[in-house]
Chain A
Amino acid sequence: MIAELGHFSLCLAFALAFAQTVLPLWGAARGHSRLVAAAAPLAVGQLLATAAAFAALLAVFAVNDTSVINVVQNSHSAKPMLYKLAGAWGNHEGSMLLWVLILALCGGAVAGFGRDLPGLLRARVLAVLGMVALGFLGFVLATSNPFGRVWPPAADGQGLNPVLQDPGLAFHPPLLYLGYVGYAVTFAFAVAALMEGRVDAAWGRWVRPWALAAWSFLTLGIALGSWWAYYELGWGGWWFWDPVENASLLPWLAGSALLHSAIVVEKREALKVWSVLLALLAFGFSLLGTFLVRSGVLNSVHAFANDPERGVFILGLLIFYVGGSFLLFAIRAPAMAPTGMFAPLSREGGLVLNNLLLCAMAAVVLTGTLWPMFADLLFQQKISVGPPFFNSALLPLAAPLIAAMAAGPMLAWKRARLWPVLQRLWWAALAAFGAFALTLAYAGWRIGPALGFAAALWLIGGALADIVERIALFRRPAAAWSRARGLPRAAWGAAVAHAGLGVSILGMAGMGLATDRLAAVSPGQSLQHAGYEWRLDRVEDVIGPNWTARRATVTVLRNNAVVTVLTPERRFFPVGRMNTTEAAIRTSIGGDLYAVLGEEQNGQAVLRVHDNPLAPWIWLGGAIMALGGALSLSDRRVRVAAPAPRAAAGVKV
């Protein structure tokens, strides 16, 4: 019954999305104010219907209703409740439902928070969002119904993949989708602006909070996914340049570019056409990611397994939305007059450089991800594009980006002078050079990590120098506190986000110096690694809620003092008959001690122990970046849209 109600709600949402698409556009074209005004209530209605469908899905997973195929395939009565619920979106159908739910949430948010928007613009934005929802609700209903029944009901479910039974992965998809789908809103704003044929500073001001919110969520989602890979896959790596990871990186790169170009639109009314294009691109990449992950065209470690029918459907949606919006862009953009001249060396110029490099990086990631497929199709050549390619192809683009990043926020608008900026940055440069030299001196001839430490200190130092200058800490220390309080949150946000990237790079550079050791040891024996003594005390059987495991107890000592006790496990999940390795990690400010238990033979257990300096800083940096985004978002100037010229732009009927 609950499943049928869920299915019904989904159909209702589809019908409401149809109305949300057609009525406001019709009203806007023909000047019917009541149809235009219907957009917001319809968006809220669609949100309620989709939320009801999602609640129904959670309910059938919570009670483990084994007459629903999706539950049978992805759940089991013995799973802890958190993973029963997370299992609802840990599969293709459920995750698509989550996708449309978040899209509906965005629509509801535009309807709710967008009261200051001109009526026609809001109606058009909601209509475009309705159009996107229509396509994906149609996709769910036609090819991926999560509420399908099976008769007779199975005795119990087949279980969820054990590596997914983890808090990190329970929250990774929702955060990632908040990011992906958040770009649907900036996309809708861009399409609405193209329909109206007008982009102005107010448009930049409305788009920026959405771009910021989507970017912050996407950053958190990516960081969480990377952290999960690090501790769950038990290999110690944190980024694999896997197609699915790349699929999330593409909208992040385009979205970061959009975030910055929207500033120029808002402040200087320049780069308008370009920002519209970026908004289309960011969402296009989100759709491309959805397509790549679910169609099975790519060879990836963690894609949804797939089915050509679905692939074709999503490809159709991708072509419709991306192709349609680009066509509209091609028709309308040339008519938008370019405005706002600036010298090449200026804040605007810096932001153009940022956009250029970020987009070039996106182009490289895109090419690297898709080229194996094209090479196969066009030249019948099977090639692999792996981490060594991405690392060497992206470095020449990332290096100038980071170099310019510290100086960018200090440049003046319109026309800047470089020398005063460099004067403010000399100590950041000194710190960076010092880090470079020290790394080479102490870690041997390791150029990669040395460059990484230099880049990290340069960015963090640059962000500090920016804040110090803005609050005049050294010139007028007495007034610094009040100036700091008066500084716009957006300035704090920018500095924090830039420093956050520096913190992440610090962690990456540290990981470049990571070492590990593999050894077979008997209980009571120790192995020496990275200045620690790792003593295997015992290996024993343990029983968890839905698994059994071999657990090793490893005491880590330094100078005969106990540092920590690690308990790596090899878990066996009887449902699904799978093994997982649970790495044991001791995290501290200075880095991670990481231990993995391998096979056991002749009374000896294989242990692999890692010393990962500064590893947690990678994800901490991600969280700091997202915090920077949130700080900017809390800026009054960003949050409160410009006083809308209601009389002029409002509905005139």
Chain B
Amino acid sequence: MLRRIAFAALLLAGPAFAVGLPSEMLQDPAQEARAREIGRELRCLVCQNQSIEDSEAGLARDLRRIVRERVSAGESDAQVVAFVHDRYGDFVLLRPPFNAVTAVLWGAPLLALGGGVLAIVLSRRRMRSALVAEVAPLSPEERARLAALELIEEDKRIS
């Protein structure tokens, strides 16, 4: 009966946006900046929709440490991401890799734009042909009436 209704998963999960601890950070500001950029691309797997840089969950903290260890060990950004990717799968990447499953996703901008342009071109063509149809050649009766009118005009001018 008492169904637990929670406005905002915030209530239960308590996302606790990270304040962080200074001891976690790398001494070298350039390396720390790089580690952060990498962290923003990685999902905190147990959170709702946060990167590991934004979450205070234990797993996010562990991943932040792993990223910083790898960065200070001198690995490149791609190597660090690949290390985490190998262990946690595609789900950890906030920028999904391009493959058969995500082809539609990554293709979405082009597909949408292409589809839109096609629709516009087709509708313009349809409109043009509709307008051309509207100014269709006169029927024989109309032509006869026009000729009669022109004759009357001619007569008026002459007389």
Contacts and interface: CB of A to CB of B under 8 A. Distances in A.
B110 to A, nearest CB: 9
B34 interface: no
B116 A360 contact: yes
Contacts of A479: none
Contact of A382 (B4, B89, B131): B89
Interface in A52-110: 69, 72-74, 90-93, 95
Interface string B117-137: 100100100111011000000
A379 interface: yes
A338 B134 CA distance: 12
A300 B9 contact: yes
Contacts of A338: 123, 126-127, 130
A533 B111 CA distance: 51
Contacts of A240: 49-50
Contacts of A163: 8, 10
Contact of B5 (A91, A359, A383, A387): A91
A472 interface: no
B108 A73 contact: no
A382 B101 CA distance: 10
A449 to B, nearest CB: 15
B131 to A, nearest CB: 6
Given A338-B123, A393-B106, A302 B101 contact: no
B104 A371 contact: yes
B18 to A, nearest CB: 7
Nearest to B6: A305
Nearest to B20: A518
A396 interface: yes
Interface stretch (B40-48, B59-67, B71-79, B143-151): B40-48
A598 B94 contact: no
B7 A367 contact: no
A363 interface: yes
A547 interface: no
Contact of B10 (A302, A356, A379, A520): A302
B7 A519 contact: no
Q: Is the interface of A mostly helix, strand, loop or mixed?
A: mixed
B48 A300 contact: yes
A369 B115 CA distance: 20
Given A338-B123, A359-B116, A237 B54 contact: yes
Interface in B92-118: 92-96, 101-102, 104-106, 108-109, 111-113, 116-117
A93 B5 contact: yes
B112 A360 contact: yes
A371 B90 contact: no
B21 interface: yes
B90 A388 contact: no
Given A304-B5, A360-B116, A389 B54 contact: no
B16 interface: yes
Contacts of B8: 161, 163-164, 301-304
For chain B, the bracket of interface size reads 35 or more
A204 to B, nearest CB: 18
B40 to A, nearest CB: 7
B120 A384 contact: no
B101 A379 contact: yes
A357 B15 CA distance: 35
A433 interface: no
A147 to B, nearest CB: 14
Contact of A384 (B1, B54, B94): B94
Contacts of A385: 94, 96, 105
A356 B113 contact: yes
Interface string A354-395: 001101100110011001000100010111111111001110
A341 interface: yes
Contacts of A234: 17, 19
Contact of A363 (B10, B90, B93, B108): B108
B2 interface: yes
Contacts of A392: 95
A267 interface: no
A243 interface: yes
Contact of A301 (B49, B94, B108): B49
Contacts of B22: 518-520, 606
Interface of A: 69, 72-74, 90-93, 95, 150, 160-161, 163-164, 233-235, 237, 240, 242-243, 274, 299-305, 307, 337-339, 341, 352, 356-357, 359-360, 363-364, 367-368, 371, 375, 379, 381-389, 392-394, 396-397, 518-520, 576, 578-579, 581, 596-599, 606, 608
Given A240-B50, A384-B90, A386-B41, 11 more contacts: A240-B49, A301-B15, A301-B49, A304-B6, A305-B9, A356-B117, A360-B112, A379-B101, A384-B93, A384-B96, A579-B14
5 contacts: A161-B11, A338-B123, A382-B89, A388-B95, A599-B21
